[in-house]
Structure 1
Amino acid sequence: MEHLVHGGEDIEAWDNAHAQLLERVYVVLRAPAVHPAVLMKAAQSASWHAMYNDGSVCQPRARSIIALLDREPFKEDLDLKAHCEEILKGLSKLDPAHALHLSLLRHAEDGIDRQAKEKEAMLEEED
C-alpha cells in the first residue's frame, strides 16, 4: 500500500523534497551573518523532523540545523587564524605578504568574535 500525503503525493517523494529543502536551509544558515533570531526560528521549524521523524532522510538534515544553535567558531576561521599566525612569525613587517596575512588574520578573528557574540545572544534569547 502506498503512503500518500499532501493531496496524494507519495511520502517518499515528499520526504526527499523536504530533505533537499532542509539541506538548502542549512547551507544558508551556516553563513556567518545570519541573525540569531532567524537561526532560532529555523531550528524551531526543523525540530519535529529532528526529534520525531525517525528513519527519515529529513532527520539528519534537521538535526544539523538544530546543531547550529550551539554555534562555535567555524573550523575555517580557526584554521585560517592558526595558519596566518604561523606565517606571520616568519615574515618581516616590510614583506608585502605581511599585510595580506595580517588582513586575513583580522578577518578570521572577526569571524570568531562574531560567532561568540551570536552564541551569547542565542543563549540570552533562550532565557
Structure 2
Amino acid sequence: MSHLTRLANSANSILVKDMMIKLFEIDNERDFRVFREPYITCQEFNIRFQERREQIIEMQPFLHVSTILAGSYNLLKELQDYELEKCRELMKSTSKTQLKVLKKISFIAKLRRQ
C-alpha cells in the first residue's frame, strides 16, 4: 500500500472515529434525559407513599367503626401497592438504561485512545 493510500485510510479512519464518538455522545444525552424523568417521577411517588402511609396509619385504629373507613383504607393500600410496583419497574428500566450508557461511555473512551 502506498504512503498516500495509508494516509487517506488513516484520515478516513479518524473521520469515522470522530463521527462515531459524536453519534454515541448524542445518544447518551438522550438516554440521560430518559432516565432523569423516571427518577423525578419516583421521587414524586415517594412523597405520595409517605403521605399515604401516614393516612393509613391514622385510619387503622378506626377501621372497625365505619365501612367507609375500611373501604378507604383498602383502596389506599391497593394504590400504595400498585404505585410501589410501578416505581420498581421504572427504577429497573432506569438501571438498564444507565448500564447501556456506561457501555457507550466506555466505548467512546476506547475510541478516543485509538
Taking structure 2 as the reference length, the TM-score comes to 0.44
1 or 2 for the larger relative contact order (CA 8 Å, sep ≥6)?
2
Looking at CA atoms only, which structure, 1 or 2, has the larger radius of gyration? 2
Which of the two has greater helix per residue? 2
